[in-house]
Structure 1
Amino acid sequence: MKNSTKNILIVIISFGIYFVIDDYFFKETRKWIFELTNQLGLSHILTYALSGIPLFLGTLLVSGKANFLKSLGLNQSILKGFLFALICTLPMFIGFSFVFDFDPKISLNTFLISVVAAGFFEELFFRGFLFGLLFSKTKLGFIPSVFFGAFYFGTLHLYQSTDLAEMWGIFLITFLGGVLFAWVFAEWKFNIWIPIFLHLLMNLSWELFDISNNALGGIYSNVFRLVTISLIIALTVLYKMRKGLKLEINKKNILIKKMN
């Protein structure tokens, strides 16, 4: 119990420090690095990496140096993560290509910022660190472990809204996306590359075509997104059934779980 409480405090404090750094110093740090590199996308990625230092230190405190990569899911198969994500997101790429026009405005900076940095760092920080450590290193079950990260993940996208209805739609889409990515992360043996590539490829499909200026989208875009979500869930459950594996998230650990 004491160890669980200690880990919860480390995770909360580490994420709190990250939140302050990200909120108050991200833009200034990126501007400073941009003056050195003269490349906005690269500056964005480097700034993200620097802002994550409190989370990396928190991981070391909770898991130790030897288990650092394992605790964040970075030691798992990159190829498996990419192939699973590619299969699941194909409906979005194929469907969007028929319904929407290719967006010629996409640039290297857009790719690095909205696709690479968003996919990698948001999953590493929110799913790998915040959800992953709370769920695997404390007595907290799935719902309390995932809630704060998914809630904050949803609020990060509210700047895209122009009215109240759109704001709620964007929040629900991104909040539920955060829950889905956490679930699939846990079910695939805490392989962080699964949600990283899902997030990355879903964002890429959104950027490649002239779909919407926000995460909410319209009817057609959400039809294909729903197919992708259905594939993520169905293929995950089917894989575990064929392997004879129980679901990681179940009624025994939905709220509180026993420590190993």
Structure 2
Amino acid sequence: MKHAMHAFLIITIFIFCHYVMRHFWGDGWSSWLSNIDNQTDILFIPAKFTFLYGPLVAAAIVLFKQERLFESIGLSFDGFINYTLAALLCCIPMTLGYAFLSSELHLSISAIITGSVYAGFFEEVIFRAALFGVLFKYCRWGFIPAALVSSVIFGMGHIYQGNDPLSAVMAVTVTTIAGTWFAWLYCECGYRIWFPMWMHIFMNAAYGIFGMSGGAAGDLQGNLFKATAIVLSIVYVEMLIRKGKPREVVLSKLLQTRAHSAACAVN
């Protein structure tokens, strides 16, 4: 019963943050922040993400408090350097492929920060750690329902990338699948956001720097190179497991997680 109540509370807070908090964000804040950062959104985006989803992150930290303050939202620095280097190596073939396909080069620092760094960090903390991670790790939801809840909402947030109904559906479908993949990476990398976060950042950055077309769904050639990053990330996780890391997403946890280790118990 306690797990069901915690899940209900987290989902309710998320819905409030996602659909209600935006009505409390006044236009005055937007104009003021945009003027300060010269319309680059360097200050605007983190301020708005923090305002909108701060209650969700705070609730996850308070409800599922661990010995280390930010452990429950995947922000322990264990393995940070290794995960960063691994994500970089996984994304190099895709980046080289994009460079080969593209005749464009966009090296705007502000665009990379707002479109890649902020997106990777905030979306992984909110959707993978504070929503999916809490439901799967602490509330004993199965991987499939927890991933669907977070990934479908994540995917719907990219519907704007479609230019027509079909491309909008494709954008939502692709980003929903991507959200599920990021959720799996989050689980299998010790419930740390670093590997999925850097994969998210590097892939977004390569896409933006080389001006790849096709929106979230991409095009055939671009997707072939994108697939190299996905395959290499899976190889990396399998290497971790072969070295002794326990596999987190197993058949018995797909629909409902019935047993957690002591490390995953709610304090």
Aligned to 2:245, what secondary structure does the other structure show? coil
Match status 1:77 vs 2:79 = yes
Q: 1:86 aligns with which of 80, 85, 88?
A: 88
Aligned length: 257
Quick check: 2:185–2:196 contact (8 Å CA) kept in 1? Answer: yes
C-alpha spacing 1:70/1:227, structure 2 compared with 1 (3 Å): same
Partner of 2:111: 110
Deviation at 1:47, TM superposition (A): 1.9
- Counterparts of 1:1-260 in structure 2 under 5 Å? 2-21=1-20, 23-25=22-24, 28=27, 29-38=29-38, 39-64=40-65, 66-75=67-76, 76-104=78-106, 106-212=107-213, 214-241=215-242, 243-260=243-260
Q: Structure 2: 5+ residue runs without aligned partners?
A: 261-267
Kindly state the Cα deviation for residue 36 of structure 1 after the two structures are TM-superposed.
4.4
Q: Which runs of 5+ in 1 are unaligned?
A: none
**2:122 maps to amino acid:** F
- Aligned partners of 2:24, 2:224: CA distance in 1, in Å? 38
The verdict on how the C-alpha distance between 1:61 and 1:249 changes in structure 2, with shifts beyond 3 A counting, is same
Distance 1:27 1:77 in 2: 39
CA contact (8 A) 1:126 1:149 kept: yes
Over residues 68-87 of structure 1, what are the superposed CA-to-partner deviations in whole Å (9 max), with x where a residue is unaligned?
41111101332122111101
Tell me the secondary structure at the aligned position of residue 190 of structure 1. Answer: coil
Aligned-partner residue type, residue 3 of structure 2: S
- Hey, what's the Cα distance between the residues in 1 that align with 2:190 and 2:198? 15
Per-residue CA deviation, residues 199-227 of structure 1 (Å, 9 max, x unaligned), is 01000000110211621221111000011
Q: In the TM superposition, what is the alpha-carbon distance from 1:22 to its structure 2 partner?
A: 5.4
Identity of paired residues, percent? 27
Equivalent position amino acid for 1:198 in 2: M
Deviation at 1:163, TM superposition (A): 1.7
C-alpha spacing 1:13/1:140, structure 2 compared with 1 (3 Å): same
CA distance in 2, matches of 1:170, 1:44: 22
C-alpha distance in structure 2 between counterparts of 1:37 and 1:65, whole Å: 36
Q: Distance in 1 between matches of 2:205 and 2:104?
A: 12
Q: Distance in 2 between matches of 1:149 and 1:194?
A: 18
Using the TM superposition, give the Cα deviation of residue 20 of structure 1 relative to its aligned residue in structure 2, in angstroms. 2.5
For normalisation by structure 2, the TM-score amounts to 0.89
Q: Structure 2 vs 1, CA of residues 22 and 173 (structure 1 numbering), >3 Å: closer, same or farther?
A: farther
Q: Partners in 2 of 1:27 and 1:220 — Cα distance?
A: 42
Deviation of 1:49 after TM superposition, in Å, equals 2.0
